[in-house]
Chain A
Amino acid sequence: MNAALVLIILIAGAYLAAHVASGWLARRFLIVSGAEYLLLGILLGPHVSRLITPGVVGSFAAFMTLALGWVGAVVGAQFYVPDVIRIRGLYYRVAFVEAILVFVLVSAAMAGIFSWFFGLPVTNVAQPALALGAIAVGSAPSGIGIVTERVGRPPIVQLLQVATAIDAVVAIVAFGLLVSIMHAPPAGVVRAPTPTEWAVISIGIGLVGGALFHLFLGEERSGDRLFIALAGAIILASGAAAYLRLSPLLPTMLIGMVLVNTSRNRDAIRQVLSKVERPLYFVLLIFAGTAWTPAPREWILPAVAFIVVRAAAQLGAAYASAEAAGVRKLLGAGWGRALLGQGGLAIAIALNYRIDANSFLANIVFSSAIASVLLTDVLSARVVASVVEAYRKRVAVRLPGRRDRGAGTGVGSGTGGSADAGAGTAGDTGADAGARSGAGGAQETP
């Protein structure tokens, strides 16, 4: 059967399943959907059923790049500065410290593990270790979205939303800079740009592109015309980044940030971005699954090590950041469990690393990310729910007679994504669940 036809049927089926079954599963059993598409991609890919050949996967490279660019723009579109500054600085302190600690700890640990396992000097394995560090930072907001539907937005949920949004930024920036630093010199140029220059080019595409696209979009409010112009902008920026062998995620994230902060039609922009986000995410997951080419056995130990190291780093970093901010007792020692779930962003970064010809140990990094998503994604909402429940019990003990009603401290933004807060798909890379902490809980904010 024609592979493209198989893909279309699959995507259609997957999408319908997401609507019919997964929405119900999410609401009833707090199970996030998303990982199953990844699994489906693996099963159909060149290494299991061979229904989709490497040629077909390769022919969709442009589409994968576009999906990555779209993910970046969606992440960037969360950061509308007036909303961001309305959220308490404490949340950002906790989130930044946690994200950076995870990145450093996982990178260092994986460098050591790779060095030992493959018998290579640490400098040689720095690239895959740093890539895994960036992947480790990314947390899925989908579980938080599902829990939000149930319990509203008590402060712990706001913090988790801020944390996933900051995690996404740190992950994308770290990965974008990594790709710039490790960039191979292009052929046929008199002087190849230095890593700093590549980083400046990457950021320049985002900022200059964002400014130009702001002028281009103007006050366009018609949904169709805005979609055309915005799609053109993201396609062009993603293509330019991919053409230069840079990550499309960083420039398009910056474009998303510039557009929502400079355009009056920011809500319409968010709406357009979120409208395409979910289907693109399913496609990305299926492609990611088909692109998986495991080396015989040698990926298993690094993947297991990555999952263990990431879990330990996440819990430790969350503990340390809360301790440093003086809110550890209120949040609980294990609040970092709520950030263990990985989803779209981790896959996007891993896929980006996988398709970059300059990547070292690409399959192992990619396999580790896939294993982590498969393991953590499905039950992420349940873990978030347990963390939130524990928090509510602590608050009830500390402030007897008051109930956390999940409404109204005014510390949130309230303008986040325009899509609904994730009806159970891990596809939410953040437009909805991210910075939208519009309503607070009771006064006992951490």
Chain B
Amino acid sequence: MRRALVLALLLAGVRLILPLGAQGQGGEVLVAFGLLILGAYTVGEIASAVRLPKIVGYLVAGLIFGPSVLGAVSAQSVQRLQPVSQLAVSVIAFLAGAELRWRDVRVDGPALLKIMATELAVGFVALFGTIVALRGSLPLLAHEPPAGVLAFALLFASIAIVHSPAVTLALLTETGARGPVARTVLGVVLLADVAVVLLFSAALPIARALVPPVAAPQSVSVFWEIGGAILIGAVLGGGVASYLRFIGKELVLFAVLIAFFGVQIAELAHVELLLTMLTAGFVTENLSRHGDKLRHAMERSAAPIFVVFFALSGAHIEVASVVPLLPFVLPIAAVRAAAIWVGTRLGAGWAGTPPAVRRVVWMGLISQAGVAIGLASVVATAYGEAGRRLQVLLLSLIAVNETIGPVLFRRALQAGGELTPEGRRVRGRAVAAH
């Protein structure tokens, strides 16, 4: 409460000085950034006090301070802070990769693949069917010919099935959970991330054949985007492992630099950032005996990065666009959740996963964030006005899933007994055993 009051006073102070200021020296961006950090910190603490995940607080703070509600952070400032979001994605992906041990991958990989494949297949079919069924009511598709309906339903379904490694990892970092539920969710989310990029890359040419795009999307071979990411990530991971072996100092700063480096190199080489850093994290963790030191350093620097990332994600939510679409988005979100539930039950049953995990793992797969937003903007670029309408629908769905997803995942961890001190000790022993 005290912090909220101070924040209100700071906001009033900023409003007071606004007429006296001028653009330049990055002042306006820093004011926006500072308010966003302090706001997210405050609302995150409030969320924690009412037993909600902090990241929900960060999102809500971004929404409140963002252009849609208070406007303390302008749309222009949000845009200019985009590199910070990319940096956050880079750190998150590296951390996610560093969570994977080769031994675990070999043991759990087949089971995770089964769950992921079933869940994605069911989700894709269900979402595709829902959009086709809703074609008469959705403003986006009301006047589209059948080929257009199929094309947009295909694109929508291939993006709407995406999960969020960022939310998953942020919540695992916040709670410290690393039990079977946490590991299964993380594994499925990471595998799905690669699969979805492949799926989207296959869906886009089909959609283009059905409805020619107004602008050709960036033509980078999907094989390079994925293969190159793995190659560059592996080289980067090797470099990081060498640094840890021969120098091993100032790891927090080094971690931030690696994240920056990853963003730049992925952009230059036109490879998938998430996969690049995921591979780098994985190689570092499994190649170096000191990988855990860097992981701990990254986890230490991850807390502020999560604050910024999710606050910016919240600031991106356009309330004015989301609210009118809620009558469509909420049923679609319900269908998606039901499909994930069915898909994971079937997949987990096929893989022989313990019933305790099988029951709750779906709750960890509801969240959506960065990857889906990125893919939605590809569609918007390719299909002009129609693409932008599809993007708004997707962003509305993402906003809903981004908000309820962390709450559900936390409940899953709670149900799995992984939020108790005892659960964390089990996790600690498991980590130590590796």
Contacts and interface: CB of A to CB of B under 8 A. Distances in A.
A226 to B, nearest CB: 10
B19 interface: yes
B38 A187 contact: no
B264 interface: yes
Interface stretch (A5-13, A46-54, A360-368): A5-13
Interface in B246-280: 247, 249-250, 252-254, 257, 260-261, 264-265, 267-268
Contacts of A8: 257, 260-261, 264
B34 A62 contact: no
B212 interface: no
Interface stretch (A242-250, A301-309, A438-446): A242-250
B215 interface: no
Interface string B1-35: 01100110110011001011110111111111111
Contacts of A275: 252
Interface stretch (B131-139, B161-169, B299-307, B331-339): B299-307
Contacts of A63: 26
A432 B173 CA distance: 33
Contacts of B7: 216
Size category of the binding interface on chain A: 35 or more
B37 interface: yes
B34 A232 contact: yes
Interface in A64-105: 64-66
B250 A5 contact: no
A223 B301 CA distance: 10
A294 interface: no
Contact of B253 (A64, A215, A279, A356): A279
B22 A239 contact: no
Max chain B Cβ within 10 angstroms of own Cβ: one of A65, A232, A242: A232
Contacts of A193: 20
A242 B28 CA distance: 8
B280 to A, nearest CB: 15
B65 to A, nearest CB: 12
A216 B26 contact: no
Given A242-B25, A279-B253, A224 B303 contact: yes
Interface residues of B, number: 45
Interface string A211-236: 01101101000011101110111111
Nearest to A213: B6
B250 A232 contact: no
Chain A binding surface SS class: helix
A189 B37 contact: no
Contact of B34 (A4, A186, A208, A236): A236
Contact of B27 (A9, A15, A16, A240): A240
B31 A20 contact: no
Contacts of B33: 62, 235-236, 239
B128 interface: no
B41 interface: yes
Contacts of B253: 15, 279
A238 interface: yes
A234 B20 CA distance: 20
Max chain A Cβ within 10 angstroms of own Cβ: one of B3, B14, B30, B33: B30
Given A212-B9, A232-B37, A244 B20 contact: yes
A333 interface: no
A245 B26 CA distance: 11
A357 B24 contact: yes
Given A8-B257, A218-B2, A232 B20 contact: no
Interface string B355-377: 00000000000000000000000
Contacts of B34: 232-240
8 contacts: A12-B254, A15-B253, A188-B19, A218-B3, A236-B30, A236-B33, A242-B24, A242-B30
Given A2-B267, A218-B3, 9 more contacts: A4-B264, A8-B261, A20-B247, A62-B25, A201-B20, A215-B2, A233-B34, A245-B21, A356-B25
Nearest first, the 3 closest Cβ-Cβ pairs linking A and B are: A62-B26, A239-B30, A236-B34
